[in-house]
Every structure is written in C-alpha cells, then in structure tokens.
Chains A and B, each alone.
Chain A
Amino acid sequence: MSDKKPKNVFIEGAISSEFIGNSIAKHQVKTNIGAHNIFLGQVRADNIEGKVVSAIDYTAYQDMANEKFHEIREATFEKFNLTCMHIYHSLGQIKAGEICLFVFVSSPRRKEVFKALEYVVEEIKAKAPVFGKEIFEDETHKWKVNT
C-alpha cells in the first residue's frame, strides 16, 4: 500500500464523451502502454412494474467512498501489471442514456487490462457507498440495489 492520499472520483453530473475522449488523448504520451480497457456505466431506462426509469439520482457517503475507491485502486495495482488507472463516478441526476461511471485501465499488455477492469468494476459495485435513486417518468422513485 502506498501512502498516497485518496483522490476525489466524483463528478457532478453525467460524464461526457468529450471528457472520455480527452482522457484517452492524454495517454498518447505514455508510449509504454500497449493496451487500454474502458468500462462505461450507462443509465438504463429499466421498466419496473410498468414504469420507465428516466434518470438515476446518485448520492454517496463521499469521504468513505473515496477511501474505498483508493483501496480498490491500490489492490488492483498489486494484483495486475497496470501502468495507470482512472475512476470517475457521477453524482446528481443522470438521465437514461448518459454515462455515470468511467473506469479506465492501461497496461503494456492486453491480458492484464481485461482481467483488471472486471475486477475493478465488481469491487466498486460491492464496496463503494454510492446510492442510486431511480426516478420514473411520473416523478415517483425507487432506490436501486446492485445485483
């Protein structure tokens, strides 16, 4: 474990394709990288008992979540041969079709990034205290539970 301070992974609002594109561009100077892998979580217009989800409103226990994201990062670097890794999660209301989670892992070799990305995303789903409120088109809501 390093003594690096946890970063803030939260972004207010949806994660834009420009932001994702810029993140990719920033890695072009790191020429030891041979493989990137990206996970994008998108808000799904689920149909629940006849009502359609129009958005998810995300809140989080931010201090704890940033510590958990930091622990997940450190564990991932120990398990896999990665050059770098970035995690961004949205807060606030994210509409169906918009991106709410962006995980980006990079390595000299492809096999590492396939394994590492799945590990990171599953760890986030299980350990990060983030709470999604599914808002329906009629403005009623239901609290989401990860499965």
Chain B
Amino acid sequence: MQLNIKYFGLIAEITTCTEETLELSNATIADLKNVLIGKYPELNTKDFQIAQNKEIVSNETLISGEELALLPPFSGG
C-alpha cells in the first residue's frame, strides 16, 4: 500500500521535506514509526504523535491508507 505522509514543524526539519510517499503493507502505526526512525534516526530522540485521517492514533492502530501526518508538540496560541 502506498502511504502519503506529511511532516510538520521540527519533524519537517529532520526529514527535510513536508510530504513523501512510502510503500508499506499490513502495518500498524508502530511499524511505520520503526520504518521512519530507520530512515531518519534523529526522530528517535524527538517527541511526536501520528495522525491518521486527521485524528491522533496510537501505536496499535492499523494503517488504513488514509492521510498520515507526523506532528511535533503543539504550540498554537
């Protein structure tokens, strides 16, 4: 399955892009984190959450192929 992943804030600085596609099948959010940490080791030292289809999801959540995003701590306001 082709996944479209968005990056924001500090995370986008580490990945040096704001969006990319990755190939990953039958995976959970934890699997995706492992793949991304393999690709960008610095992510391992950073605090971030993952949103799927614009909702924050946990490590056990299955990836459904909807929009994914890596979100650093919020700092609006």
Interface residue ranges, A against B (CB under 8 Å): 41, 58-61, 63-65, 67, 89, 100-101, 121, 124-133, 143-146
Of A63, A64, A65, A132, which is within 8 A of B75 by CB? A132
Are A61 and B77 interface neighbours, CB within 8 A?
no
Are B9 and A146 interface neighbours, CB within 8 A?
no
The answer to whether the Cβ of B36 comes within 8 Å of any Cβ in the partner chain is: no
Q: In whole Å, how far is A88's beta carbon from the nearest beta carbon of chain B?
A: 12
Are B76 and A124 interface neighbours, CB within 8 A?
yes
List residues of chain B with CB within 8 A of the CB of A124: 76-77
Of B8, B9, B72, B76, which is within 8 A of A89 by CB? B76
- For the complex, give the distance between the alpha carbons of A80 and B23 in Å: 46
Looking at chain A's contact residues, the main secondary structure is: mixed
Looking at chain B's contact residues, the main secondary structure is: loop
Of A58, A63, A67, which is within 8 A of B76 by CB? A58
Q: In whole Å, how far is B38's beta carbon from the nearest beta carbon of chain A?
A: 23
B: contact size bracket: 10 to 19
Q: Which residue of B lies closest to A145 (CB)?
A: B73
Interface centre among A63, A67, A131 (most CB of B within 10 A): A131
Are A129 and B77 interface neighbours, CB within 8 A?
no
List residues of chain B with CB within 8 A of the CB of A60: 8, 76
Are B75 and A145 interface neighbours, CB within 8 A?
yes
- For the complex, give the distance between the alpha carbons of A125 and B77 in Å: 6
- For the complex, give the distance between the alpha carbons of A129 and B50 in Å: 11
List residues of chain A with CB within 8 A of the CB of B69: 61, 64, 129
* Extra pairs beyond A125-B77, A143-B9, A145-B75 (18, CB < 8 Å): A59-B8, A60-B76, A61-B6, A61-B51, A61-B54, A61-B69, A64-B54, A89-B77, A101-B76, A121-B77, A124-B76, A125-B74, A126-B74, A130-B75, A143-B73, A143-B75, A144-B75, A146-B74
